[in-house]
Amino acid sequence: MGKQISTLGELKKSGWVSRSVKEEMRENLIRAMQKGEDLFPGILGYEKTVIPQIQNSILARHDVILLGLRGQAKTRILRMLTRFLDEEMPIVKGSEINDDPLHPLSKYAKTIIDEMGDKTPIEWVGRDKRYGEKLATPDTTVADIIGDIDPIKAASKRLSLADEDVINYGLIPRTNRGIFVINELPDLQPRIQVALLNIMQERDIQIRGFNVRIPLDVSMAFSANPEDYTNRGNIITPLKDRIDSQIITHYPREVGIAKEITRQEAWSDRNGLVKVHVPEIYRTILENVAFEARSSEYIDQKSGVSTRMTITAMEQIISAAERRAVHNNEKETTLRITDFYHMVPALTGKLELVYEGEQEGAVNVAKHIIGKAINNTFKSVFPDPGMRLADEERGDYQDTLDWFAAGNSLDLPDLISDKEYRSRLDSVSGLSDVVKNFADNSSDDTYALMDLVVEALHQNSKLGKDDLDDTRSYTDMIGSMLGGMGSFEDDEDDFTL
């Protein structure tokens, strides 16, 4: 429609009808629901919780606030609200506040319509240009979000400061007939929050000493982190009362959903020289790292554990495998247990530690959480080595443990080639039998699972492990303990007179 209509007269003849932005969103949502469209594509895990509440809020024509910890897709959801706006909307050409040609608000629009009538030029704006967003920061001013008088404009046009033409509109008026979002609302100073009260209730703004009030048509939405209520500020009660719907977001509640989010968001397909295979059980381990962190006594649970952590962690472990393959001039490789410990930098920057965690150290806490995730994932597939097992189960582990007890060790350098890596795992007696007996795996995953079994035996105190720079070395647990005491007699001889 927009390309054919360029004047007010043509717009009137077309039968176009004005409607409020919230009514527009409501009607478009209903139409999308009737067609069975995916309302929020790419948003996973909220199908039965958050998304129905957002639907209800739009249908009720409510302003909303999404309340949740960091990394819960709040901003992404708010930016997707533009899906429920019309593809194009007519405005008076040149209007700073998207004046409705049939119901102009600004002095500029009213003047040009009075002068030109049906010949008033019309332009069309797309839905993306009808979205405004402001990250609340302590230096945000009323002028930023509402507006102020512009002395320079007054001087250049030789206008009085009382003239409406000298107003410099802020972000919210410029988003008139659209959606305006304020992220991290508690960070907005209370005196600035007060400036929003009229917009939220009376739907108008008043700038400085002007008597004129401009009734805006805007859908307001906010995001906030509960932690911010005490750490950096809060939402003033009158403003909270004016926000119609408060919707609580959450982290993925199932490992399967978490895996799909990471699979969707992480940069896994590098389109490079190396193809990295990620066994499904390793994807489970990665997500269990986040689940373990969200219940760890070392982590401040009020701060949350962002889903961005597992996304960046996945990218880190794939990069570790990619680096190894490039080093060995290999075109394909599979993730190893070693690679998980290369994601520590992705964890330490995203985990807020409590006092006990600070005492342990961020790196040690990260490694502890990774170890727990590996062990718990292992136990979901294999028998628990720490429990009393049936004879056949004990026999499988026992062959491997006996191999280490005989004085053998398994050394796995980080950059060892795939061929040598497999050869060393194959040399461990009984290890492949454990995988064959208990794991439903493809040939690509066999060695990854054998690696997992060895690490899990260490996590269950059945094997000792030394991390020597870039090498993992597994030995018999009792042998390694006695080895640390082996020099006692030699030392005693040194003191013999």
For residues 440-467, b (16+ Cβ closer than 10 Å) or e, as one string? ebeeebbbbbbbbbbbbbbbbebbbbee
Question: Quick one: which H or E segment has residue 66?
Answer: strand 64-67
**Rounded Cα–Cα distance for residues 51 and 481 (Å):** 55
pLDDT at 390: 55
Alpha helices in 107-146 (DSSP H): 107-116, 142-145
With beta carbons less than 8 A apart as the criterion, state whether 382 and 456 touch. Answer: yes
CATH architecture of 8-248: 3-Layer(aba) Sandwich (3.40)
With beta carbons less than 8 A apart as the criterion, state whether 130 and 82 touch. Answer: yes
Sign of CA pseudo-dihedral 349, 352, 356, 359: positive
pLDDT at 491: 44
Domain boundaries, the chain: 8-248, 255-482
pLDDT at 404: 96
Give the largest CA-CA distance in the chain. Answer: 116
Q: Which residues contact 47 (CB under 8 A, 6 or more apart)?
A: none
pLDDT at 490: 46
For residues 90-111, b (16+ Cβ closer than 10 Å) or e, as one string? bbbbebbbbbbbeebbbebbee
pLDDT at 441: 63
Distances (CA, A) of 256 to 253, 284, 440: 9, 8, 18
**Rounded Cα–Cα distance for residues 29 and 34 (Å):** 9
pLDDT at 359: 81
**Rounded Cα–Cα distance for residues 48 and 299 (Å):** 28
Q: Residue 423's Cα: distance from chain center in Å?
A: 40
Write out the DSSP string of 346-379. Answer: HHHTT--B-HHHHHH-HHHHHHHHHHHHHHHHHH
**pLDDT tens, N- to C-terminus, the chain (497 residues):** 555 799 999 999 999 999 999 999 999 999 999 999 999 999 999 999 999 999 999 999 999 999 999 999 999 999 999 999 999 999 999 999 999 999 999 989 999 999 999 999 999 999 999 999 999 988 899 889 988 877 777 677 776 666 677 788 899 999 999 999 999 999 898 989 998 988 888 777 777 666 567 889 999 999 998 875 545 668 999 999 999 999 999 999 999 999 999 999 999 988 888 999 999 999 999 999 999 999 999 999 888 899 999 999 999 999 999 999 999 999 999 999 999 999 999 999 899 998 878 888 999 999 999 999 999 999 999 998 877 655 554 447 889 999 999 999 999 999 999 999 999 999 999 999 999 888 876 667 999 999 999 999 999 999 999 988 789 999 998 755 555 444 434 444 443 33
**Rounded Cα–Cα distance for residues 495 and 356 (Å):** 42
pLDDT at 314: 97
Pick the closest to residue 435 from 5, 74, 320, 443 (CA basis).
443
Q: How many CB atoms lie within 10 A of CB 419?
A: 10
pLDDT at 480: 54
Residue 223's beta-bridge partner residues? Answer: 66
